[in-house]
Structure 1
Amino acid sequence: MLRRLSIRDFVIVDSLELDFAAGFGALTGETGAGKSILLDALGLVMGDRAESGVVRAAQSRAEIVAEFDVPDAPPLKAWLDEQMIDAEEGLLLRRVVDSAGRSRAWINGTSATLTQLREVGEWLADIHGQHAHHALLRGDAQRELIDRYAGLETLARDVARAWRHWQDARQALAQAAADAEGVQRERELLGWQVKELDELGFSLEEWAQLNQEHARLSHAAGLIEGASSAIDALEEGEAPIVASLERLSVRVAEMARIDGELAAAQELLNGAAIQADEALHALRAYRDRIDVDPEQLTELDARIAAVTDVARKHHVAPEELAGLHQRLATQLADLSEAADPDKLAARVAEAEAAYRDLARGLSEARTPVAAQLGEQVTAAMQTLSMGGGAFEVTLVPEPEGSAHGDERIEFRVAANPSQPLRPLAKVASGGELSRIGLAIQVITSRAAATPTMIFDEVDVGIGGRVAEIVGRMLQDLGQQRQVLCVTHLPQVAACADWQWSIAKQQVAGETLSRVMALDDNGRVDEIARMLGGVEITETTRRHAAEMLQRQPA
């Protein structure tokens, strides 16, 4: 549940520190005093979009901090573990918005994205806004409510994914039929290109060897001449290097026997003589092996020319031919499969079967939940001055299917027994819509796992005995979870376990919102104000006290 809410410089709030209790709490006060602002702040800290206008005038930033107990929900704990967030002592959500509309967020001191705020917020609180009733007139909102109430959101997403896969397969089949001639031409071109590259038999390893061998043969004469010159210098001529090094090594060795400091020099000369002799043998072997072969050089020239011609034709470097060959072969294989009507038809049939199976499961799961909700809302209508009225959740078949399953969801209502069931959007008046919508929200909230339920003036359009019944409904809901309700109805507020009064005050020429936790006498005064308007009489106060005394302890 929500434990604490701290607000700084948000709209007309300069500073508020609010500690929340369990049960049903009513937030009351004059219109414009800032009741809904508290819920807007709570929505912001749970991931709603931020705008620069939420920052109080002349201030640089707004800050909202909300502290929640962690509900006993294994999926939430798994999510927290996945995000590496330690929540043993609760969850602290913080959001800062600057005057330019930029915002930052944290969860238990760890920087968080708005997506993370929204994800964790779904497990902590459910806010029903002022226009929630009107949203129920939309078909998509009706479907989403049923799926959420039944816990079918994951299955519904799977159905939507399967539907898209099926439609993609159908489109591929239709496209292949429409472009059959063009596809055939493209296949023929790709086939010729792949065949040419197959016949070329090119590889990067061969290309490296070709260039190395070509360079060797092209310069064979020069290489032989150079090797011969090196051999002459090492073993022939007036001062052959190998013989000279050997003589110097012997001479210095004799000197080293007299002075040991020359031992290191002698070892170096001896090593040099040995290495020069090894170089001489290597050069002889190389000169004997190398050969000037014009015929082989001609063959290499022809091979290099063939590779270069094909590379030029495809506008790539020779080194890129291997990758090009693989890409073209893959394109040809894909195109061949994509143009195969039998394979495409089989893929369509497979995708449709997968969709139908999931959609059937979704329909079967929706049916009993729809019937149950219809019965429960119908029963609630009897207590909300709609005696004899009926509510039904109808699953209207869509044989062709859709991304939302094999049916569309339609809320139908009959306000009195003489009327047939008709779509909610066509028959419900404003007051009837408020009562039906509130009944739906309260009933579906009982099945929700969210520990905190927030209702923002959802009781608009009702009054009198019905208002008291609504208050009792919220009071019963408060026995199961924390319920917060912004209300203008004294009958609803009187049913609350605790009550806050929100009012505007002038402070140093600035209008600010203030919140006061009401004791028993304060609640009498506030409910009397809600009953009596401008002038509060003793009769009004007695009436208010009587309303509070009628509530169970």
Structure 2
Amino acid sequence: MLLHLKIKNFATIKELEVDFGSGFSILTGETGAGKSILIDAIMLLRGDRGRSTLVRSGEDQAEVEAVLSLKGTEEPRKLLDESGIDADEDLIIRCLLSSQGRLRRFVNGVSVTADYLKNLTRPMITIHGQHEHQSLLQSSSHLDFLDGFGKLFELRQKVSRHYQHYQELAELRRKQEQDLNQRSMRMAELKEMIEELQELALEPGEEEHLLEETKRLSGAEKLIQLLSDSKSRLSEDELSLMEQMEILRKNIQQSSEMDPDCVPLMEELEQCFFQLEDFGRSLQKRQEMVEINPERLSFLNDRLNRVQRLQRKYALGHSDELCELLNSSEKEHTDLINLEENSQLLEEQFETALMELKQSSEELSARRHKISTDLDRQIVQQLQQLGMEKARFQTKFKNQDAEDEKEWSEKGIDQVEFMLSVNPGQNLKSLIHIASGGELSRTMLALKTILQTHDPSTVMIFDEVDTGISGRVAEMVGQKLRNLGQQQQTLCVTHLPQIAAFSDSHYVVEKQIEKDATYTVVRKTSTSEEKAQEIAQLIGGREITEKTFSVAYEMLEQARSAAG
């Protein structure tokens, strides 16, 4: 229940505060006075998006705050408890909209998201306006009305879950069928690749070793030639280095005999001589170790060519990737072998999902057919109470092939359309084709009356419910709204005196101009005379005559009498 509304710097509203009571309350005022602005402000409290243009010109931000009673609520209290927001008997919702369009939302001082606010206030504030009226002209929405009446949304959510699961498996099944069609060709490709790579039997890092060994074997003959030439120059050629050393050795020996100071030179020369002998032996040993193996070299070159050919064939940057390719190919080949087994498992899962979807959809459809007759009966009763005494109403189920999976959706296997006849002898026709504005408004009011849970914790707000009606019909609508107000708080924006006369509380929305500035204000009528004056203005305009006042007063008396 909405207890208090505070609005500041919102459109033409500078600042206003309104207290609301229980029962049926109406908002009246001239066109452009700001009645729709109040609805826009309340929409923010329900989690709707704000627009920067709603901030009053020249101000930095707009503020909308409401106090709602939590008495008798269940879902909102549960949500508050789950989120750790403290709440006693009242709930304070506050929205701050900046001139840049940023909207911040608070519940009892705690910042919340738009989705949270929607979930919190959805059971507490319901607004029925032109959008809901137009939805009656869209047959796709009729199923929602039917499911709402039958309290079938929980079962419909189950169908939706089954449908989504079925769709996921159907997509997997489709892809797997494509895989199976390509399986043979791909397995042949993989088999050839695996055999080729297994035959190569390449080890990680092997190419580097092959290159190194090939380089060494390729230069063996040249190396032997160089070593042989070095050995000849050292000891085998005429005037070799060793022979020259021997001549040098004799010369120094003679010098030492002639001059004792040359003895150290002889010792140094002896060391050089011994080192050259060691060097000669090492040279001989290395020469003997050098291998000339053309067969091995040919093998190495052939293997390198095979490695590099496969590397080019599979467009790989490094030979080690051939090892990785072999591993991945073997795994893919194994997966394809197992694909048939996996396909059978998926097919079983798909059939199970299909059966579950069909069962839940058929259960939902049966429930819909059963409750549709009750909905039709109750709507006819409501329409008769709203002046459509000869009205006939029927929920028409369009022909659907329950066996055709293409006809299914997340809402089940049904499509429905509301059919209406308002005159005797007139065939039932779609609301889209026959409903006038007044008939549409009354049909929507009938639906909302039936669908409403009559939860005293909920405030129902009607905007433009009086579209296309007048006179006696408007009086019936007013009485219907008053009856609703006896069960739960009901607010209505109206231009019709017949509806206003049935209100328990009457709020007047006015536009005031002061110093070139426009302000929207709201005042509550406090006496029967004041209320009669406002109704008289709805009848005859600004100038209240004795006649219009008398008619207005009589309307109030008739409304009181009708209310009993």
Normalised by the length of structure 1, the TM-score is: 0.73
Corresponding letter in the other structure for 1:378: V
Match of 2:548 among 536, 540, 547: 540
| Structure 1 Cα separation of the partners of residues 549 and 333 of structure 2 | 84
Whether 2:532 is the aligned partner of 1:524: answer yes
The amino acid across from 1:363 in the alignment is S
Structure 1 residue 198 displacement after superposition: 12
In the alignment, is residue 156 of structure 1 matched against residue 163 of structure 2?
A: no
Q: Is the 8 A contact 1:378 1:389 kept in 2?
A: yes
- Structure 1 residues 21-78: Cα deviation after superposition (integer angstroms, max 9, x where no partner): 0111000111111112111101112111111111111111111111111153433332
Shift, 1:392, TM fit: 1.4
Kindly report which structure 2 residues correspond to 1:87-486, keeping only aligned pairs within 5 A, or say none: 87-186=87-186, 329=331, 333=335, 336-337=338-339, 341-399=343-401, 400=404, 401-403=407-409, 404-446=411-453, 451-486=458-493
Counterpart residue number, 2:505: 498
2:59 counterpart letter in structure 1:
Q
1:492 is paired with a residue whose SS is helix
Residues 421 and 449 (structure 1), Cα distance of their counterparts in 2 relative to 1, 3 Å cut: farther
Query: 1:90: how far off?
Result: 2.0
Residue 504 of structure 2 aligns with an amino acid whose one-letter code is D
2:55 aligned with 1:55: yes
Listed one character per residue, the Cα deviations across residues 130-175 of structure 1 (whole Å, up to 9, x for unaligned) are 2321211112221122223332223223212322322333343344
Asked whether the equivalents of residues 532 and 553 of structure 2 are also in contact (C-alpha less than 8 Å), the reply is yes
Give the distance between the partners of 2:2 and 2:106, measured in 1 at CA.
17
The change in CA–CA distance for 1:349 and 1:59 in structure 2 (over 3 A counts) is same
Q: Which whole-Å deviations, capped at 9, do the CAs of 1:207-229 have from their partners, x for residues lacking one?
A: 9xxxxxxxxxxxxxxxxxxxxxx
Structure 2 CA distance for partners of 1:196 and 1:490, relative to 1, 3 Å: farther
The CA deviation at 1:405 is 0.8
Query: Within the alignment, does 1:68 sit opposite 2:63 as a pair?
Result: no
Q: 1:347 to 1:20 in 2, by over 3 A?
A: same
1:328-350 CA distance string (max 9 Å, x none): 85996489448855444333321
Partner of 1:156: helix, strand, or coil? helix
Secondary structure at the aligned position of 1:455 is classed as strand
1:497 and 1:316 map into 2 onto residues whose CA distance is 87
Report the counterpart of residue 78 of structure 2 in structure 1: 78
For 1:423 and 1:433, the matched residues in 2 are separated by: 12
2:232 equivalent in structure 1: none
For residues 85 and 330 of structure 1, the distance between their equivalents in structure 2, rounded to whole angstroms, comes to 54
8 Å contact from structure 1 (residues 172, 338) kept in 2: no
Whole-angstrom distance in 2 between the partners of 1:434 and 1:452: 19
How many residue pairs get aligned? The number is 456
Please list the CA deviations of residues 214-258 of structure 1 after superposition, one character each: whole Å capped at 9, or x if unmatched. Answer: xxxxxxxxxxxxxxxxxxxxxxxxxxxxxxxxxxxxxxxxxxxxx
Q: CA–CA distance in 1 between the matches of 2:164 and 2:2? A: 40
Letter matched to residue 408 of structure 2: S
SS of equivalent to 2:105? strand
Matched residue type, 2:67: E
Q: Which moved more, 1:82-91 or 1:66-75?
A: 66-75
User: 1:24-35 maps to which residues of 2 (within 5 A)?
Assistant: 24-35=24-35
Larger deviation: 480-489 or 146-155? 146-155
Task: Answer yes or no: is the 8 Å Cα contact 1:3–1:68 preserved in 2.
Answer: yes
Counterpart AA for 1:402: W
Q: 1:106 to 1:183 in 2, by over 3 A?
A: farther
Output the CA distance in 2 between the equivalents of 1:474 and 1:331. 72
Secondary structure of 2:56's aligned partner: coil
Q: Could you say what secondary structure the match of 2:395 adopts?
A: strand
Deviations 1:485-532 (A, max 9, x none): 000011111101111000100022111111011012211110010111
Q: 1:173 to 1:121 in 2, by over 3 A?
A: same
Q: Distance in 2 between matches of 1:55 and 1:2?
A: 23
Deviation of 1:5 after TM superposition, in Å, equals 1.0
Is it true that 1:512 corresponds to 2:519 in the alignment? Answer: yes
8 Å CA contact retained: 2:454, 2:487: no
Q: Any conservation in 2 of the 1:176–1:183 contact (CA below 8 Å)?
A: no
| Contact 2:392 2:420 survives alignment (8 Å) | yes
Deviations 1:161-201 (Å, cap 9, x if unpaired)? 32232233334334433453434444566788999999999
Q: TM-score normalised to the size of structure 2?
A: 0.72
Deviations 1:68-126, CA, capped at 9 Å, x for gaps: 11153433332222211112232111111111111111111111111111111102110
Q: Structure 1 residues 318 and 124, CA, compared in 2 at 3 Å: closer, same or farther?
A: farther
* Counterpart Cα distance in 2 of 1:344 and 1:426: 47
- Cα 1:119–1:325 shift into 2, 3 Å: farther
| Structure 1: distance between partners of 2:12 and 2:21 | 24
Structure 1: gaps (5+ residues): 202-206, 208-304
Between 85-94 and 498-507, the greater mean CA deviation after superposition = 85-94
Deviates more, 1:402-411 or 1:167-176: 167-176
d(CA) in 1 for partners of 2:4, 2:79: 23
Q: In the superposition, relative to structure 1, how do residues 318 and 431 fare at CA in structure 2: closer, same or farther (>3 Å)?
A: same
